[in-house]
Structure 1
């Protein structure tokens, strides 16, 4: 089978799985704009996403909706508009970035985080908000009023409870299996609380789509900066979309082999092959409208285990 060029791969991907404009803009802000001061001019954003089939009108509609939803803040200077990540939204972007660019959890001490809201302790709307937010974070509802996750990060949990105004209103504790108590292994709770079939299917689809691209990038030496930016953006957009549904459980509790590990290694390899030329294109576009646009912050270079 003939190997596709990177441009052929891009065109085929956009024809068969075109990204939704608002979601793609979110990806661009998280992956490309957040490390560069978290702000850009509307004209720069339009230029960045145009090669991915997003029109001027769709960009304007997308940023308007993201402002309405509390993700972005708009500023107007004369006839030009700029958009920046809302400070209150930064922790959610940072949490997503930790999921995307960090390797799947290899270390686990066997402890689980439990969040409990007994009947009557909080009202129904707050109970729903807590459940919804924590399920997005990968928690499972094991019983009414009981959400659990192995190896949960306490910082995002605290931020979520504070944001939905549940701080001090629910019980949070850490639990481990009690030896010699005759209980089932706690690891079996994964089978009870999480249906991973869809996640496995999505990871396998991601691997099938992007493995040919990796082979192409390893052979090509003339990838343009603009094409590198498109590849990097589509990569993170697709990988992020899969990860949104991954509860990020410890590898010790997952089927072996776990396709999420292969998907991470694939994303890491493609990102490392494209990030530098993608950054060159990004800085050229940003500095056309803002000569003082900052370079990437230090945290950017820690992505995927280190880019330098």
Structure 2
């Protein structure tokens, strides 16, 4: 949830927040001060955020690594249309020694996050242009001696979609999207009516928008973002993306107003010129 608040709010308001403000925001979800402090401490140890002191206040901000991850996530979350495909396949193969098992496990998690599919043991593929991401991972985990990376054509004997069937559980992903649609389409209609009648407070909109983004971003770990040519003709991911966009816009203004009220009371006002940068976050003030 803290990741979601940083990604959807804080990074657009100067990327820095007083811990007291973060505690106030998380209290809206029923989290207490101790749990927030423990989570923030864990995120610091993992290298996602860092801190600085101003007087007797501690402020927390995303590290360059954290910012990169948030930017990548935002592009994927708010993307409505599939990527254009260059008909190429990216293939990463590795043979990492057993004494480096932890590195191997971390690399697998990163590959799943980036959208790679497990074609076979120690062989990961993607139709998306992920050369930059692969190079970053190879350098980050220092696995240069153990990996080989290819950009290639598939020459058969089957169709390209057969590689998808072997590498990703599309039916499971489709079912998760259907579950999301069933849950949030009903909530969208209810909240649309409540907002029209003035029955939903800014704080409640903040909670609902944050929960919406928090749930939708989970698809980053399961949906590889395949090009249209490799997807089924009817793909629930398209419908879920449109529902997410409409629901987000419904809650956006009131949710931002609540966040800004908390933020203004406790933090530096230098965020004013940054909060509504359409290039960074096209939906934030819509």
Smaller-chain TM-score range?
0.7 to 0.9
Moved over 4 A (4+): 126-129
Alpha-carbon distance in 1 for matches of 2:114, 2:268: 38
1:207 aligns with 181
2:139 aligns with 162
Q: Is the 8 A contact 2:112 2:222 kept in 1?
A: no
1:107 aligns with 84
**Structure 1 unaligned blocks of 5 or more:** 1-23
Cα deviation 1:92-118 (Å, max 9, x = unaligned): 22111121111241532322111233x
1:224 and 2:201 matched: yes
| CA drift at 1:291 | 4.3
1:151 aligns with 128
TM-score by length of 2: 0.87
Secondary structure of 1:46's counterpart equals helix
Is the alpha carbon distance of 1:302 and 1:158 closer, same or farther for their aligned partners in structure 2, counting shifts above 3 Å? farther
| CA drift at 1:129 | 4.2
Secondary structure of 2:232's counterpart equals coil
Cα deviation 1:200-234 (Å, max 9, x = unaligned): 22212211111112112332322332222111101
Alpha-carbon distance in 1 for matches of 2:242, 2:44: 34
Alpha-carbon distance in 1 for matches of 2:116, 2:158: 20
Alpha-carbon distance in 2 for matches of 1:145, 1:244: 19
1:234 aligns with 211
How many residues are aligned here? 277
Greater shift after overlay, 198-207 or 44-53? 198-207
1:191 aligns with 165
Greater shift after overlay, 54-63 or 154-163? 154-163
Q: Is the 8 A contact 1:228 1:278 kept in 2?
A: yes
1:84 aligns with 61
- Quote the RMSD (CA, aligned, Å): 2.3
Secondary structure of 2:282's counterpart equals helix
1:251 and 2:228 matched: yes
Secondary structure of 2:82's counterpart equals coil
TM-score by length of 1: 0.81
2:282 aligns with 302
Q: 1:36 aligns with which of 3, 7, 13?
A: 13
Secondary structure of 1:188's counterpart equals helix
2:241 aligns with 264
